[in-house]
């Protein structure tokens, strides 16, 4: 995937929620008005956010009700893309460990969630960059799972 040139106008974050032993990921389905695609938790970095991780933690609370994940860590991976308006945005990916069986309180941004294996997640996730981030997460966790 070729990344667009030009200045980044908007920073964004996404979180890949997971539990270990065995490794499973929590994926979310957008409602019909947003394409019914399976996606991770994601959102824009707001001016009031201290940094990327605080933006992610805010999005986790807003979209799932999760206040205290077991741990959050950057996947040291990002992708630049064009928004619907044509501006260049940059998306930063994070791993988010949660308790096994965590049941999110869905916001209006999602209509469903599923706990799945990494292979199933890669099959469900709509965007190529989401599948690449799952591969990165699995790679980062490999020595520990």
Q: For position 6, what pLDDT does the model report?
A: 87
Instruction: Provide the whole-model pTM.
Output: 0.93
Q: Which parts of the chain register pLDDT below 70?
A: 1, 144-145
Q: For position 3, what pLDDT does the model report?
A: 77
- Per-residue HEC secondary structure of 67-101 comes to CCCCEEEEEEEEEEEECCCCCEEEEEEEEEECCCC
Q: Which helix (H) or strand (E) holds 103?
A: none
Q: For position 77, what pLDDT does the model report?
A: 85
Of 120, 137, 125, nearest to 16 (Cα)? 137
CATH architecture assigned to 8-144: Alpha-Beta Complex (3.90)
Q: For position 34, what pLDDT does the model report?
A: 86
Q: For position 144, what pLDDT does the model report?
A: 64
Task: List beta partners, residue 97.
Answer: 18, 71
């Amino acid at each position: 995937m070729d990344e667009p040139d030009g200045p980044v106008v908007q920073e964004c974050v996404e979180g890949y929620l997971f539990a270990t032993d065995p490794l499973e990921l929590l994926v979310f389905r957008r409602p019909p008005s947003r394409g019914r695609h399976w996606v991770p938790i994601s959102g824009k970095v707001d001016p009031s956010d201290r940094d990327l991780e605080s933006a992610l933690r805010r999005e986790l609370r807003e979209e799932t009700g999760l206040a205290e994940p077991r741990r959050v860590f950057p996947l040291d991976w990002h992708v630049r893309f064009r928004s619907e308006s044509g501006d260049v945005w940059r998306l930063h990916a994070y791993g988010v460990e949660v308790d096994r069986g965590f049941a999110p309180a869905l916001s209006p941004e999602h209509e469903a969630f599923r706990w799945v294996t990494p292979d199933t997640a890669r099959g469900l996730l709509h965007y190529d960059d989401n599948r690449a981030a799952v591969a990165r997460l699995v790679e980062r966790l490999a020595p520990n799972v």
